[in-house]
Amino acid sequence: MLKSFQSIFRIPELRNRILFTLGIFVVYRIGGHVPSPGVNAEALGEFFKMQQNTLFGLYDLFAGGAFAKATVFALGIMPYISASIILQLMGTVMPFFQKLQKQGEEGRKKINQYTRYGTVGISAMQALGVSIFLESIVTPSGIHAVPHPGMAFRLMTMLTLTTGTIFIMWLGEQITERGLGNGISLIIFIGIVDRLPFAFMDELRQFMSGNRALLMELFMIALFLFITATVILLTQGTRKIAVQYAKKVVGRKVYGGQRTHIPIRVNTAGVMPIIFAQSIMFVPSTIATFLPDSVIKDWLHSSFTFESYTYMGIYGILIIFFTYFYTAVAFNPVDVADNMKKYGGFIPGIRPGKATSDYMDNILSRITLPGSIYLGLIAIAPSLISRYSNINYNYASFFGGTTLLIIVGVALDTLQQMESHLLMRHYDGFLKSGHIRGRRRM
């Protein structure tokens, strides 16, 4: 392992890409501490201490803590993600975007351009909403988060936050082109990992003060390693469908005839079902914060907290539903079957065309069920840990849910890219046995 890390810096291209990516991280973290003008940071911090279990807390997670501080990067990369999801969904129902998706590299460039335009529009609308929201914040001590509200503040906030999001989008694209890994994913990753040392230090202080037993801490460490390992298996798990391509004779040459496979992931949807489900589950508690004191408000607060059985049950069902929904969007068996038929490919024992698409759809449905159930269990694991132990939820959140899935998924993707650079130059990779799926020995 140590030799593999040393080999990284012997390859100039790989070394430059890593250093460039680290430099972008520094810029991103600095921007996450530059305050937006016209906001009382202390009053805002006091307010957000009470909003950790609401939709604002989820948004702050993807903004790397910048939303709670109302910095220039307060919107984070979420507008770009929202625009990407909208265009992806439109590609399933609108012929214009379906045509672009089939145009290869040229179509991808146009979709990316539309995504950028959508990011600007969504950012401007969200920034306006944030400015109005900031003006309405009054702490229990009677301090206003915005001392001088008005149209000037709203326009300035719209300009500042929209520019910040566009800059983050540009940073992500620079990482993708000149750095290492997927830039947008890495920006979300670094914002989440930034919280990890603080969560562990808080747990260490609890242990040093005698509030945690040694046996309990060792059990939690073992549980963390076990859950992480199972998340890696879920992320990497695939079902291979054998595909045979027919031979074609052109003149004196024979083309095709090779045997390959189509890998279908156990978790095709990735982390998206958890994000969708969590967004919906946070709506009731967010609405409750704006309601006057009543029985309905008390019921919403008690039923839609992380430790509530009602919350866990509905949350798990929504994750299973969205896993099937997003898998259907991301993987279309009909298109795959048509492409195979076009290039002379077939699944042995299965007729080309509709029979092939039905066969793949059946396999996809069967492997998605256990994947979606386990995804739901991983999502509610932090809630169960927080409920049945005296561990703070901020620390327990690293034992599953969106946090762990993003960390594992992005880390594996980046590690695979580093391995490919090492193997291309005849260096050994990070793992001498149990190689990352898809890797070939040189």
pLDDT digits (tens, 9 = 90+) for 95-124: 888 788 777 778 888 888 999 999 999 889
Count of domains for the chain: 2
Same domain membership, residue 237 and residue 162 = no
Q: Is 412 inside a domain boundary?
A: no
Sheet containing 259-265, strands listed edge to edge, beginning at the edge strand earlier in sequence:
259-265, 238-245, 345-346
pLDDT exceeds cutoff 70 at 249: no
How confident is the model at residue 441, as a pLDDT?
Answer: 38
Same domain membership, residue 201 and residue 78 = no
Q: Is 271 inside a domain boundary?
A: yes
Range list of H helices, 304-435? 309-330, 333-342, 354-387, 393-396, 401-424
pTM above 0.85, yes or no: no
Provide CB contacts within 8 A for 368, sequence distance 6+: 266, 268, 323, 324, 327
Same domain membership, residue 391 and residue 316 = yes
Pick from 134-143, 250-259, 281-290, 339-348: least confident: 250-259
Same domain membership, residue 228 and residue 201 = yes
Same domain membership, residue 177 and residue 238 = no
Question: Up-side HSE of residue 327: CA atoms within 13 Å toward CB?
Answer: 24
Same domain membership, residue 308 and residue 369 = yes
- Of 326, 323, 351, the residue nearest 337 (C-alpha): 351
Given a contact cutoff of 8 angstroms between Cβ atoms, the answer to whether 211 and 390 are in contact is yes
Same domain membership, residue 234 and residue 214 = yes
Same domain membership, residue 84 and residue 227 = no
Q: Is 427 inside a domain boundary?
A: no
Q: pLDDT tens digits, residue range 140-192? A: 777 787 888 889 888 998 999 999 999 999 999 899 888 888 888 888 888 88
Residue numbers of the domain that contains 91: 1-185
Same domain membership, residue 217 and residue 152 = no
- Mean local confidence (pLDDT), 304-326: 84
Q: Is 70 inside a domain boundary?
A: yes
Distance CA 107, CA 390 (A): 52
Same domain membership, residue 384 and residue 253 = yes
Q: Is 20 inside a domain boundary?
A: yes
Given a contact cutoff of 8 angstroms between Cβ atoms, the answer to whether 379 and 277 are in contact is yes
Q: Is 408 inside a domain boundary?
A: no
How confident is the model at residue 434, as a pLDDT?
Answer: 45
- Mean local confidence (pLDDT), 62-83: 75
Q: Is 233 inside a domain boundary?
A: yes
Same domain membership, residue 5 and residue 101 = yes
Same domain membership, residue 274 and residue 390 = yes
**pLDDT range class, residue 308, cuts 50, 70, 90:** confident
